[in-house]
């Protein structure tokens, strides 16, 4: 926020130290058990990670009276405003009861003519300014002196209260709008899953399909009926320069999962010809599926000559006309695959399980129509999600704009 704003009549530009008494916190020795687990709330910046409320009663730790006396922590009254001054800078919260903090805060005990909520919102708007005056090499910290000297626009108390009321009214409307946008996001996720479910029930291309039945001309087959399923392999020992860092692309799970697109055209790792007999080679237009790790069940159509490790399964001898149909089939099954308990700490799909999967199968012509329907509907969903994301970004920008206007005297 600029310090050169012309303020309304009756306002004063003061230092933050003129709005309240500013103090730092402290930490009792952790080696003395008697200092801890008492009745005094003790807040650290980590207590505010992900914390959304404006006020706070207690943190994860508390201290005793003797711990308070034997540290630089200071007991502060209800209404004190806590501002994290390091690791990270910019968390703000109001004390809902007497409490103290560690040294990661600069806190303000407001003077009689200053509203705690007014300081709270001002500091919310001043995070960037605080970061600019912070110093340090390992991590940035704003000193007591720099924090005290931050400029502070001070209107009369009734004006402060009117501004706080207006901010909270506008923020409430904004929060309702954001909640609706996030609900719409969840609905889009559900819609995408529904599109894929309908696709493989035949409902996208056949209007009169009874639940639990396949359309006329369709049949249920096993993946093994339409493709040979194989796993890759890794030259051992891993990283051996005799095998690795050559000119041949060597695909791992991370290559399949790093992007959202259908096609895989890039790679991170390579092997040498000496490693070829210890892995598996694949040609362009081969459908792949990640089959190990937390991101198993991700399909990709590989568009390059490559090799692959044992965290990847390939569908060989698959008619190229079914590539996209099976691609979306596995997209529809990703969540289901991840819920399969393979009895190991590292999830892993064996190829027998993949081969034995039931696949609703129809003519190549209908497969093409289904893929077109899927992509048309998902494209609309993607555009809607992009619009929602833009609106969410605009909502956050609007929140900052409200705060900026508030402390320039332009909100009320």
Q: How far is C-alpha 19 from the geometric centre of its chain's CA atoms?
A: 37
CA distances from 152 to 16, 85, 88 (A): 5, 17, 22
pLDDT for residue 238 is more than 90: no
pLDDT for 346 beyond 80: no
pLDDT at 136: 84
Domains of the chain, earliest start first: 12-154 (3.90.220.20), 155-204+363-412 (1.10.287), 219-361 (3.90.220.20)
Provide the mean pLDDT of the chain. 95
State the residue for tokens 């965290």: 311
Q: Tell how many helices (H) and how many strands (E) occur in the chain.
A: 10, 21
Q: At what angle do helices 323-338 and 364-406 cross, to 10 degrees?
A: 60
CA angle 69, 70, 72 (to 5 degrees): 85
Q: What is the chain's Cα-based Rg?
A: 30
Distance CA 206, CA 200 (A): 11
pLDDT band for position 190 (cuts 50, 70, 90): very high
Least confident of 32-36, 175-179, 205-209, 244-248: 205-209
Q: What is the pLDDT of residue 44?
A: 97
One-character DSSP codes across 259-316: --SSEE---SEEE-GGGGGGSEEE-TTEEEEE-BSTTTT-EEEE-S-EEE-TTEEEEE
Q: Tell me the mean pLDDT in the region 241-254.
A: 96
- What's the pLDDT at 331? 97
- How does residue 343 score in pLDDT terms, banded at 50, 70 and 90? low
Strand locations in 176-262, DSSP E? 219-222, 228-231, 244-251
Q: What percent of the chain has pLDDT over 90?
A: 91
Pairwise CA distance, residues 294 & 203, whole Å: 31
- 122-136, 300-314, 330-344, range with the lowest pLDDT: 330-344
CA 308, chain centre distance (Å):
30
Which pLDDT value is given to residue 114? 98
Rounded CA-CA distance 139/86 in Å is 7
pLDDT at res. 344: 55
CB 252 within 8 A of CB 309: yes
> With bands split at pLDDT 50, 70 and 90, how would you rate the model's confidence at 21?
very high
Which residues are registered as beta bridge partners of 189?
Answer: none
Q: Report the distance separating Cα 105 and Cα 47, nearest Å.
A: 12
Q: E strands along 7-49, which residues?
A: 12-15, 20-24, 36-43
Residue 349: pLDDT above 90? no
Per-residue pLDDT of 68-118, as tens digits, reads 999 999 999 999 999 999 989 999 999 999 999 999 999 999 999 999 999
Dist. CA 144–CA 83, nearest whole Å = 11
Query: What is the residue-wise DSSP string for 48-91?
Result: GTT---SEES--SEEE-HHHHHTSS---B-TT-EEEEEBSSEEE
In the predicted model, is pLDDT for residue 342 greater than 60? no
Poorest-pLDDT segment among 125-134, 149-158, 181-190: 125-134
pTM recorded for the entire structure? 0.78
Across the range 358-373, mean pLDDT stands at 98
What is the tens place of the pLDDT at every residue in 286-304? Answer: 999 999 888 999 999 999 9
The pLDDT of residue 137: 78
pLDDT of residue 339: 87
Our measurement of the distance from residue 250's CA atom to the centroid of its chain's CA atoms, rounded to an integer in Å, reads 30
């Amino acid at each position: 926020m600029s310090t050169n704003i012309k303020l309304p009549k009756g306002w004063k530009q003061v230092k933050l130290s003129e709005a309240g008494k500013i103090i730092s916190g402290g930490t009792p020795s952790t080696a003395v058990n008697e200092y801890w687990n008492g009745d005094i709330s003790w807040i650290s910046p980590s207590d505010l990670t992900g914390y959304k409320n404006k006020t706070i009663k207690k943190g994860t730790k508390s201290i005793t009276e003797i711990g308070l006396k034997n540290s630089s922590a200071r007991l502060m009254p209800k209404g004190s405003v806590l501002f994290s001054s390091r690791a990270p800078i910019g968390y703000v919260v109001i004390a809902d009861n007497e409490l103290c903090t560690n040294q990661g805060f600069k806190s303000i005990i407001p003077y009689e003519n200053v509203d705690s909520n007014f300081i709270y919102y001002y500091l919310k708007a001043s995070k960037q300014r605080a970061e600019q005056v912070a110093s340090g090499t390992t991590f940035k910290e704003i000193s007591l002196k720099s924090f005290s000297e931050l400029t502070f626009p001070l209107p009369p108390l009734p004006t402060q209260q009117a501004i706080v009321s207006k901010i909270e009214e506008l923020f409430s409307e904004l929060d309702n709008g954001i909640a609706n946008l996030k609900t719409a996001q969840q609905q889009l996720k559900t819609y995408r899953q529904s599109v894929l479910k309908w696709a493989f029930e035949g409902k996208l291309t056949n209007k009169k399909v009874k639940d639990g039945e396949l359309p006329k001309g369709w049949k249920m087959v096993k993946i093994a009926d339409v493709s040979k399923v194989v796993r890759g392999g890794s030259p051992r020992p891993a990283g051996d320069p005799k095998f690795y860092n050559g000119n041949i692309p060597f695909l791992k799970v991370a290559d399949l999962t790093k992007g959202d697109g259908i096609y895989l055209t890039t790679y991170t790792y390579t092997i040498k010809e000496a490693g070829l007999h210890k892995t598996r080679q694949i040609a362009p237009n081969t459908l792949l599926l990640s089959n190990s790790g937390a991101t198993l069940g991700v399909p990709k159509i590989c568009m390059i000559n490559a090799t692959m490790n044992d965290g990847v399964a390939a569908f060989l001898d698959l008619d190229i006309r079914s590539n996209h149909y099976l691609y979306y089939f596995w997209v529809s099954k990703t969540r289901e695959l991840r819920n399969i308990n393979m009895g190991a700490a590292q999830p892993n799909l064996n190829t027998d399980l993949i081969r034995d999967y039931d696949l609703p199968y129809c003519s190549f012509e209908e497969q093409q129509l289904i893929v077109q329907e899927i992509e048309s509907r998902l494209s609309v969903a993607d555009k809607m999600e992009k619009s929602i994301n833009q609106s969410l970004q605009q909502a956050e920008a609007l929140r900052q704009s409200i705060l900026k206007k508030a402390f320039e005297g332009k909100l009320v």
